[in-house]
Amino acid sequence: MFDLKINSGTKKIFYKNLSLAVKFLIDDGSLKKNVLNIERIFNCRLTELQKNNFISKEVDEIRIAKPSGKPDEIILKKIKLNDQFDVDVFRNYLSSLVERISKEQIKFLHITIPSFSIFKQYFEDEEYFYQTFIEGIFFGNYSFDKYKTEKKSRKKLEVFFYAENEKKVKNAINTANTLMNAVYFVRDLQNEPSNQLTPDLLAKRISSEAKIAGIKCTVFDEKEIAKRNMGGLIAVGKGSINKPKFIVLEYKPVVKTGKIKKSKLKKVVLVGKGMTFDSGGISLKPSKSMGEMKNDMAGASVVAGTLIAAAKNKLPVHLFGIIPAAENMPSGEAFKPGDIIKTASGKTIEVDDTDAEGRVILADALDYASKLKPNQIIDLATLTGAVVVALGDFVAGLFSKSDELAEKLYKSGMRTFDRVWRLPLWDDYHKLNESSVADVKNLGGRWGGAISAAKFLENFVDKKIPWAHLDIAGPSIHNDSRHYTKKYMTGFGVRLLFDYLKNNS
């Protein structure tokens, strides 16, 4: 794609050769008048066909060539403020635009952001309104081609954003730049083939990136994991020649005297499932789409990416990232249905199905997180297919007994369009995981599968700590809901958690 440079434009616009300008027009009954204004502003003439097309209901975009240049071409994009409008419109549109022009020789892209006052009912914050445009450029420019032998050289594209508040545009560019680079890191990890991302390699990649961001990273090897009695992680990982790792990240902001006391810093632990590949183990998965199980470490990557974004944006919150990493493979040493496992908490698990392995490794991770005595714990996992059946592939399941935590995560989801939907966590569901031979069983049966998985995890969280579980099995994998989610693993959750932490720290 492009070698991007993103700028805040000044009030006086200078168009160089090979420029494309994008102008958004609101479809409010004044299109004909606004098109005439466009002709005046850009000193150009639209044909009658172009005018009629754009004013019609069927066409929402036209592209106009300007032989005299400055700019060389103009795109007019129609925006309808109807019940189909959502806060992702500009992000989604610009992501598709960047991909569409990637084969062209455009060097300068000029985007005029419409007045925030028109969109106040949809966006709470002007700066974040601007940020959605910038994120769209980043999303459209993402690709994963490192294993292609023939690589196209990256062309340079300089993007200019023009808006009413130049300072807020600059702030939005700075935030989006660090945030979306963290999303890129997460997507790169998720799209890696599992032979290039074993638990050890995942730990090394995360450790390297964490060091650059000033984040402390500690990695427990197999001996340390055993020493800490993490029986869940040991059991799941022992079937593979690539042995498990347990990754602990810590970001603690530098506190300036007089601004905030260290004791006042909110402590939040993020926990991410890190199955670098899940074959299902002895309970082997069907071969169709098994290759997508390279993404079973999506929760882990999102946790790492969120801490990196938080550190680079200097969020005033004390964060831990806890990542149990393993491969689930069938072998003579693999754990089996009927096994009973003792976890770090001392609680025992009856293995009903080795393909329900993610919750088993999270049992040790959530116990570790609880012992850190944080203000909150949030875990993310590609945990169940059942949540996709319930909600579709574009939204994550949210489980929590804390109404406050659930509501704030929901709001951040709607704001960022990394959307979550709350499902029940009633104690009636505990019986689904009951075992006659152990404290709990690792599979709750066919009905309410996403809920019984969440209830399983609840057994390993300190009841005094507000906790939320996000089942991201659907939206972390490429899907057709948005243009920028169609081709690659999505990085879902980084923008959600970053927004939540930024607005609630």
Beta strands in 99-184 (DSSP E): 108-112, 155-162
285 is catalytic: yes
Domain boundary among 134, 164, 179: 179
Rounded CA gap, 293 and 456, in Å? 22
How much is the pLDDT for 289? 87
How much is the pLDDT for 264? 83
How much is the pLDDT for 263? 63
Q: Both 140 and 225 in a single domain?
A: no
Per-residue 3-state assignment (H helix, E strand, C coil) for 397-458: EEEECCHHHHHHHHHHHHHHCCCEEECCCCHHHHHHHCCCCCCEECCCCCCCHHHHHHHHHH
Q: Which of 245, 359, 415, 419 is catalytic?
A: 359
Q: Which of 107, 155, 266, 285 is catalytic?
A: 285
Residue 211: φ, ψ to 5°? -60, -40
Cβ–Cβ under 8 Å, residues 276 and 324: no
Q: Both 49 and 115 in a single domain?
A: yes
Write the DSSP string, 295-352: GTTHHHHHHHHHHHHHHHTT-SSEEEEEEEEEEE--STTS--TT-EEE-TTS-EEE-S
What integer is the mean pLDDT of 46-72? Answer: 93
Residue 239: φ, ψ to 5°? -80, -10
Rounded CA gap, 142 and 147, in Å? 15
Report yes or no on 186 lying in a domain.
no
Indicate the burial class of 15 (C-beta count within 10 angstroms; 0-12, 13-18, 19 or more). Answer: middle
Q: Both 154 and 243 in a single domain?
A: no
Token pair, residue 30, equals: 């004044």
Rounded CA gap, 126 and 116, in Å? 6
CA atoms within 13 A on the CB side of 177: 13
Closest by CA to 315, choosing from 214, 423, 448, 442, is 214
Residue 391 has pLDDT above 60, yes or no: yes
Q: Both 47 and 136 in a single domain?
A: yes
- Give how far Cα 159 sits from Cα of 105, 153, 452, Å: 14, 19, 48
For residue range 151-182, list pLDDT tens digits in order.
888 999 999 999 999 999 999 999 999 999 99
CA atoms within 13 A on the CB side of 431: 2
CA atoms within 13 A on the CB side of 209: 25
How much is the pLDDT for 505? 86
Mean pLDDT of the chain: 96
Q: Both 137 and 242 in a single domain?
A: no
Question: What is the enclosing helix (H) or strand (E) of 217?
Answer: strand 216-220
Helix or strand or coil: residue 26? Answer: strand
For residue range 240-251, list pLDDT tens digits in order.
999 999 999 999
Residue 133's pLDDT band (cuts 50, 70, 90): very high
Report yes or no on 188 lying in a domain.
no
Which residues sit opposite 400 in a β-bridge? 468
Rounded CA gap, 188 and 374, in Å? 30
Q: What is the pTM of this model?
A: 0.96
Q: Both 213 and 77 in a single domain?
A: no
Indicate the burial class of 330 (C-beta count within 10 angstroms; 0-12, 13-18, 19 or more). Answer: middle
Closest by CA to 398, choosing from 418, 372, 416, is 418
Q: Both 66 and 158 in a single domain?
A: yes
Residue 259 has pLDDT above 70, yes or no: no
How much is the pLDDT for 125? 95
Domain boundary among 179, 198, 221: 179
Which residues sit opposite 440 in a β-bridge? 349
Closest by CA to 300, choosing from 275, 267, 263, is 275
**CA-based radius of gyration for the chain:** 25
Token pair, residue 170, equals: 């600059």
> Domain tally for the chain?
2
Rounded CA gap, 70 and 18, in Å? 9
Task: Supply the CATH number for residue 102's domain.
Answer: 3.40.220.10
- Containing structural domain, residue 60: 2-179
Report yes or no on 403 lying in a domain.
yes
For residue range 16-41, list pLDDT tens digits in order.
999 999 999 999 988 989 999 999 99
Q: Both 172 and 226 in a single domain?
A: no
Report yes or no on 384 lying in a domain.
yes
User: How many other β-carbons are positioned within 10 Å of the β-carbon of residue 430?
Assistant: 15
Task: Supply the CATH number for residue 460's domain.
Answer: 3.40.630.10
Per-residue 3-state assignment (H helix, E strand, C coil) for 380-404: EECCCCHHHHHHCCCCEEEEECCHH
Residue 203 has pLDDT above 60, yes or no: yes
What integer is the mean pLDDT of 426-442? Answer: 98
How much is the pLDDT for 255? 77
For the chain, percent of residues with pLDDT exceeding 70: 98
Q: Both 99 and 229 in a single domain?
A: no
Angle at which helices 199-213 and 298-312 pack, to 10 degrees?
Answer: 10
Closest by CA to 203, choosing from 239, 237, 175, is 237
Report yes or no on 203 lying in a domain.
no
Q: Both 262 and 407 in a single domain?
A: yes
For residue range 297-332, list pLDDT tens digits in order.
999 999 999 999 999 999 999 999 999 999 999 999
Q: Both 226 and 163 in a single domain?
A: no
Q: Which DSSP category does 197 fall into?
A: -
Report which residue type is found at 436: S
Residue 262's pLDDT band (cuts 50, 70, 90): low
Closest by CA to 466, choosing from 381, 399, 384, 389, is 399
Report yes or no on 381 lying in a domain.
yes
Report yes or no on 184 lying in a domain.
no
How much is the pLDDT for 258? 54
Report yes or no on 198 lying in a domain.
no
Q: Both 304 and 393 in a single domain?
A: yes
